[in-house]
Copies of this chain bind each other. A is one copy, B any other.
């Protein structure tokens, strides 16, 4: 399968949605699906679906439709590679950290939670999603020993600013970022996925207040 050199971010962001829909279809026993059926379910157009799939070599023959399981497996390979899960640490063990840790430890997403860090001594020794919470000052040693590749940042903006350089020097190259600090501006070598919950709420507010 020929993957084009550079797939655009909007296409990449739609891959998990395709994967979710195909997983549901497969669970419902559906064997084949056309691009227009898939598009209709997902609230998009058949042309968009075909264009997206063409970025990865097409996945099927036009006019015949796609085999659900084959398509799901192909997209799964793109998302999860050979199935090896990415070793991941989480920093900030508050409410948000606790909620998102379950997404990391859920093995269907392709990650493996290996360490959780906080600065609050009351949390040390407790567990989050089955992983002990450690003092933040042990992070450097931990990374030297266990080589995490991904960090999840559930900390305030200033803590993220203070941590970013260290994380890069410890070998972290991917960040799932819940902080209000846009790391990728200063550290373009990092692959960053931002989840700015406040921004999401504010743009919902704009749309509700400015409805036609």
A interface with B by C-beta (< 8 Å): 3, 5-7, 12-13, 15-17, 19-20, 41-43, 78-81, 86, 94-96, 98-100, 102-104, 106, 108-111, 149-150, 173-174, 176, 180, 182, 184-185, 191, 193, 195-212
Contacts of A86 in B (CB 8 A): 205, 208
Closest B residue to A96 by beta carbon equals B99
Shortest CB-to-CB span from A70 to chain B, Å, is 19
Alpha-carbon distance between A171 and B7 when the two chains are bound, in angstroms: 41
14 contacts between A and B (CB under 8 A): A5-B212, A13-B199, A16-B198, A16-B199, A42-B182, A78-B206, A79-B205, A100-B197, A109-B201, A109-B202, A110-B201, A150-B204, A150-B208, A176-B200
Extra A-B contacts (20), CB below 8 Å, given A42-B185, A106-B198: A3-B210, A7-B210, A12-B207, A15-B206, A16-B202, A17-B199, A79-B205, A79-B206, A95-B98, A99-B99, A103-B201, A104-B201, A108-B198, A109-B198, A110-B205, A150-B204, A176-B200, A176-B204, A191-B211, A193-B200
Q: Is the interface of A mostly helix, strand, loop or mixed?
A: helix
- Check if A205 sits within 8 Å of B80, measured CB to CB: yes
Residues of B within 8 A of A184 (CB): 43
Cα separation A200 to B178 with both chains bound (whole Å): 11
Residues in B with CB closer than 8 Å to A180 are 20
CA distance A103 to B38 in the complex (A): 34
Contact across chains for A201 and B176 when beta carbons are under 8 A apart:
yes
Given A17-B196, A95-B102: A191 and B174 interface contact (C-beta under 8 Å):
no
Q: Which residue of B lies closest to A3 (CB)?
A: B210
Chain B nearest CB, measured from A28 CB (Å): 13
CA–CA, A188 and B41, complex, Å? 13
The residue in chain B whose Cβ has the minimal distance to the Cβ of A88 is B201
A180 to B106 Cα, complex, angstroms: 15
